[in-house]
Structure 1
Amino acid sequence: MTPASRNRSLGSAALAALLFGILAILVTRDRAPLDRFDVEGRRLEDWADDSSFVVDVLRIIEVAFGTVGMAILTALLVLALVVRRQRWAAVLAAVVMLATSLATTGIKRWLGRDRPDWQDTLGLHENFSFPSGHASSTGAFAAILVMLLVLFVRRTSLRRLGIGLTVGWWLLVCLDRLLLGRHFPTDVIAGSLMGVGIFFLALAFIDPRPRSIAARAEPLPEVYASQRRLAVILNPIKVEDVGQFRAIVGAMAEESGWSEPTWQYTTIEDPGRGMAERAAVSGADLVMVCGGDGTVREVCAELAGTGIPVGIIPAGTGNLLARNLDVPLYLRSAIDVALNGQDRAIDLVKVGGDGIEDTHFMVMAGMGFDAAIMEGVNEQIKKRIGWVAYVVSGLRSLMFPAMKVEIQIDDDEPTVHRARTVVVGNVGFLQAGMPLLPDATIDDGVLDVVILHPKQFLSWIPLAVRVLRKSAVVDELIDRRTGARVRIKASVDTPRQLDGDSIGLGRELWAECIHGRLLVRVPR
């Protein structure tokens, strides 16, 4: 954290503490200026009393976000952050919530302000009133959630939606305290100030962002002397602020000992291959590519076999290759991995079929239901709600008609199957983290094939259960094959896709695994 950021956090914490202190003095000594304001809480409680339904809802909110409920929410949040390897964010969340709880309890006992005499009689609170524990805990928790949304959610629309829902939830809990008459309005305001103030104080000393690999690991030994020339290929529509992105990459590259990066932007006419070729010819020691799966595929296909490592900055909706390589989706962490990670040789898959030029894919190819999902995604909806657009398309395509397919693995005799979809995978996890090919690895030199044939609508339920359990059972519902070469022939024109991008209708698709063809940067 920079000194300027720390000073801003300390300044915000000091302002919250000052306002809290003023309220504390006014409510425990001569609080005549605030009497009229606090008494307004009686009117709110009287209004809520007129509706038994409203009171029932308020009591549910009271219990759900009380001490026990907030402790459970905090534990779940900390656990989720640890699982996602955001350890410092987890530490910050735990420290803020624990400190808020202790400070609220201590100040309540110290100041000893009585509860309003008009509070709801059911579940009467007899402990002290100032500040509100519900308001302080939800205020602190809301501040943590807003911070996480700002740090880790790239899509502006989703980030704004998340922040709006978070603030709305906090206000609802605060209003609940007034409508039930549990607190004076100044109790709720003070509690919120305390929670937010403690958050900013902790933020000044605990940086929630992931630590740089360069800062905590020994440099990797170099096989040959490198001038550390960096080339960056960017799909400009995938980042909100190109100038800011360039500044971040430039600063982190300089910090890690790389040269000033050269920049190239993809276009509709050239989604990445031409830029990758120019980067290779110019002698780049590392090519960083920022974009969706399509951009990453084009750049990787061009750099395969050159020995130039590719650093992936995932900025799309699926980010399938990045997810399967454990490349973090957080922008700065991904850049850090690209600059300071280690190289891994992975397989590339050559693919072709009727009506398409021979090309390559990194993650998967498919015919049938999965391709119909990609084909049915509305791009405008996808820009607004991200991966949820695939769910919407998937629900519409669930009863994609079964087809007759002939599948040949390596030099074996072809076999005939009935299927709704056939997927050829180079990795184990596909969209939404679905472990459709649990035994697949990206550097084993073979392809994994799964043939899905749910005969009825309800058959999707046992299919999903078996996939999520990574069941090894093979039958007509789920059939699996492996081989270095795969050829699929359908009886009718069928939708096809590569790495989540629709490539149109056709009756044939073939794939060949090229072992260890590409170097990519992965976490150490």
Structure 2
Amino acid sequence: MLDRPRQTPLIAAVACLLLFSVLALGVSLDWAWLADVDDTGEDLAGWADDQGDWLHDVLRVVELAFEVLAMTIYSVVLTGVMLAKRHRRAAVFVVVVMVATVVITQGLKLLVGRDRPDWQETLGFLDTRAFPSGHASQTTALAGVCLVLAVMLVRRANIRRLIGAGLVLVVALVCADRLLLGRHFWTDVTGGALLGAGLVLLTLALYNPLPRSHALNALPLPQALPSNNDLAVVLNPIKVEDVDQFQAMVAQLAAESGWKEPRWYLTTIEDSGTGQAEQASIDGADLVIVCGGDGTVREVCAELAGTGIPVGIVPAGTGNLLARNLDIPLFIRAAIDIAINGQDRAIDMVKVTGDGIEDTHFMVMAGMGFDAAIMEGVNEDIKAKVGWLAYVWSALKALMFPTMRLEVSIDGGEFTKHRARTCVVGNVGSLQGGMNLIPDAAIDDGQLDVVLLYPRRFLSWIPLVVRVLSRREGRAGESVARFTGRSVVVRASSEVPRQLDGDTIGPGCELHMECIHGRLLVRVPR
């Protein structure tokens, strides 16, 4: 919707505002048929009065929850969130829509000068002008703003539909509240809703809340090597809703930044990125963009490591661990922009060997025990519907994963014995769920960080999480142990679940890991 021509929201805005104008004219001229419709509101208010105090209490709560002060607070909070997420244009969009709605609504109230219904509820009696309803216009405007931001920032269509349905219900509730309390006529709330919707659409037509491209805001970066501006894109097609739309977006942003038409390499069930990345490098790509989940990103990065070809990451999975640790936005359009116009950063990779697996790599983390059991227990159907909540449910089921007996060797030293429910070897600090499990870790320091967690009882997870987040060190033998080194070997006394970057690799007893410093170039924000 946000990438469509401006004529689309402009036409819808004109339609809403034209209907509003006709309604305002009818109210001003006291059209008889409108008056007949408005008079039916007395029956609604009478029905509400017959239901007793409980309904009036509920209606008053709704009224206060969506009055001018409350709506101002909601708008300020939403603006603050957008600024905190670095979506400055979205923040401006919120402010412009909400301020315009309040000012125009109050101006029209004075211009039309309509009195309130004679049958309104006496508690909280209003003697201000009635047309259009400020509650209806502001609630509709804020709901429209939230819907625009949901389309912009929420990738899952089912979640967007759920948000849209919820917003429609909120607007309907507020409009019904105004009628049942007798504060407004039917035409007041209808006019308010049309005005709020029209202003959202008009602002969207005149001012796009999408972030501006880096190419427009920053000077081109110097190139260390000659480039033909050949762009390749490795895409996992099941991770984007509309492949054609995604391809058009990448092509548009690439053309704006001086890159050639992208060459496309789609992953398959048999090959999740390795072969596509290899072919892209053979075809002479100067930049490879990968769009997919953590598994696809890991395969492409491993294949292009050491080639000098930078990798741009467009996160489209559920965890998106590497992107989060590199401060790459999860908003797809912004991530594409970073991938094309960001700066190159050399990061570490980790070589992995172990029993029952071929030699491989990881970018973010490896795990044995509880965290790998979480990955094994995720229901893919639930994950497709609710995203990261599927991991929460799986974690609750695996919370008391059995204790493991482990031996750990750092940089070829002697093995030390430990008991733990989970062992995480991290190349970065922030792991699943955004938990900063290893605060001192860095993806370009040439070191691996090992964390062993051993909560003895179910409730022991609470102080353990507090200790991890607060970075407090415990005494030897307590529930947290940490090690740092360039190479790490972990052995379990029996087979346990294992995972690399959130993908399970089957049960086993050993993992040998070695950090390869500065092995891969990735595009990150400037």
TM-score bucket of the superposed structures, by smaller chain: over 0.9
Letter in 2 for 1:302: E
Asked if residue 522 in structure 1 is aligned to residue 486 in structure 2, the reply is no
- Tell me the residue number matched to 2:14: 14
- 1:148-176 CA deviation, whole Å, 9 max, x = no partner? 12122221111111111111111111111
- Tell me the residue number matched to 2:502: 500
The within-5 A match list for 1:257-296 is 257-296=258-297
Indicate the larger mover: 278-287 or 84-93: 278-287
The within-5 A match list for 1:62-73 is 62-73=63-74
Indicate the larger mover: 486-495 or 72-81: 486-495
How far apart, CA to CA, are the structure 2 residues paired with 1:248 and 1:411?
49
- Tell me the residue number matched to 2:131: 130
How far apart, CA to CA, are the structure 1 residues paired with 2:209 and 2:403?
49
Shift, 1:329, TM fit: 1.5
The within-5 A match list for 1:415-454 is 415-454=416-455
Shift in alpha-carbon separation, 1:83–1:111, aligned structure 2, 3 A: same
Divergent runs of 4+, >4 A: 1-4
The within-5 A match list for 1:164-179 is 164-179=165-180
Matched position secondary structure for 1:68: helix
Q: Contact 2:352–2:359 at 8 Å: present in 1 too? A: yes
How far apart, CA to CA, are the structure 1 residues paired with 2:462 and 2:4?
53
- Tell me the residue number matched to 1:30: 30
Letter in 2 for 1:487: V
How far apart, CA to CA, are the structure 2 residues paired with 1:68 and 1:419?
52
The within-5 A match list for 1:146-157 is 146-157=147-158
How far apart, CA to CA, are the structure 2 residues paired with 1:335 and 1:492?
44
Matched position secondary structure for 2:489: strand
- Tell me the residue number matched to 1:97: 98
Letter in 2 for 1:212: S
How far apart, CA to CA, are the structure 2 residues paired with 1:296 and 1:471?
30
Shift, 1:3, TM fit: 11
- Tell me the residue number matched to 1:384: 385
How far apart, CA to CA, are the structure 2 residues paired with 1:477 and 1:120?
61
Shift, 1:428, TM fit: 1.3
- Tell me the residue number matched to 1:397: 398
Q: Contact 2:372–2:497 at 8 Å: present in 1 too? A: yes
Q: Contact 2:2–2:152 at 8 Å: present in 1 too? A: no
How far apart, CA to CA, are the structure 2 residues paired with 1:183 and 1:376?
53
How far apart, CA to CA, are the structure 2 residues paired with 1:40 and 1:444?
72
Shift, 1:297, TM fit: 0.2
Indicate the larger mover: 318-327 or 115-124: 115-124
- 1:181-219 CA deviation, whole Å, 9 max, x = no partner? 111111111111111111122222221001001111111
Instruction: Please report the TM-score for the alignment, with normalisation by the length of structure 2.
Output: 0.96
The within-5 A match list for 1:78-477 is 78-468=79-469, 470-475=470-475, 476-477=478-479
Matched position secondary structure for 1:221: coil
Asked if residue 480 in structure 1 is aligned to residue 482 in structure 2, the reply is yes
Indicate the larger mover: 379-388 or 240-249: 240-249
CA RMSD of aligned residues (A): 1.7
Asked if residue 41 in structure 1 is aligned to residue 44 in structure 2, the reply is no
How far apart, CA to CA, are the structure 2 residues paired with 1:398 and 1:284?
45
Shift, 1:4, TM fit: 7.4
How far apart, CA to CA, are the structure 1 residues paired with 2:143 and 2:12?
16
- Tell me the residue number matched to 2:5: 5
How far apart, CA to CA, are the structure 2 residues paired with 1:246 and 1:8?
21
Matched position secondary structure for 1:204: helix
Matched position secondary structure for 1:23: helix
Shift, 1:8, TM fit: 3.0
Letter in 2 for 1:389: A
Shift in alpha-carbon separation, 1:212–1:401, aligned structure 2, 3 A: same
Q: Contact 1:474–1:480 at 8 Å: present in 2 too? A: no
- 1:57-114 CA deviation, whole Å, 9 max, x = no partner? 2221111121121111111111111111111011000111111111122222332211
How far apart, CA to CA, are the structure 2 residues paired with 1:451 and 1:46?
66
Matched position secondary structure for 1:399: coil
Letter in 1 for 2:473: V
How far apart, CA to CA, are the structure 2 residues paired with 1:460 and 1:472?
15
Matched position secondary structure for 1:350: strand
How far apart, CA to CA, are the structure 2 residues paired with 1:92 and 1:400?
48
- Tell me the residue number matched to 1:77: 78
Letter in 2 for 1:515: H
- 1:206-233 CA deviation, whole Å, 9 max, x = no partner? 2100100111111111122211111111
Matched position secondary structure for 2:497: strand
How far apart, CA to CA, are the structure 1 residues paired with 2:45 and 2:178?
9
- 1:410-464 CA deviation, whole Å, 9 max, x = no partner? 2333222221111111111112211111111111111111111122212222223
- 1:469-512 CA deviation, whole Å, 9 max, x = no partner? x4232342322221111111122221111111111211212211
Shift, 1:245, TM fit: 1.7
Indicate the larger mover: 439-448 or 26-35: 26-35
How far apart, CA to CA, are the structure 2 residues paired with 1:121 and 1:36?
23
Number of residue pairs aligned between Structure 1 and Structure 2: 523
Shift in alpha-carbon separation, 1:176–1:466, aligned structure 2, 3 A: farther
How far apart, CA to CA, are the structure 2 residues paired with 1:28 and 1:2?
36
How far apart, CA to CA, are the structure 1 residues paired with 2:327 and 2:305?
20
Matched position secondary structure for 2:344: strand
Indicate the larger mover: 79-88 or 410-419: 410-419
How far apart, CA to CA, are the structure 1 residues paired with 2:111 and 2:274?
68
- 1:341-366 CA deviation, whole Å, 9 max, x = no partner? 11000000111222111210001111
Matched position secondary structure for 1:487: strand
Letter in 2 for 1:169: V
Q: Percent identity, aligned pairs only?
A: 60
Q: Contact 1:404–1:416 at 8 Å: present in 2 too? A: yes
Instruction: Please report the TM-score for the alignment, with normalisation by the length of structure 1.
Output: 0.96
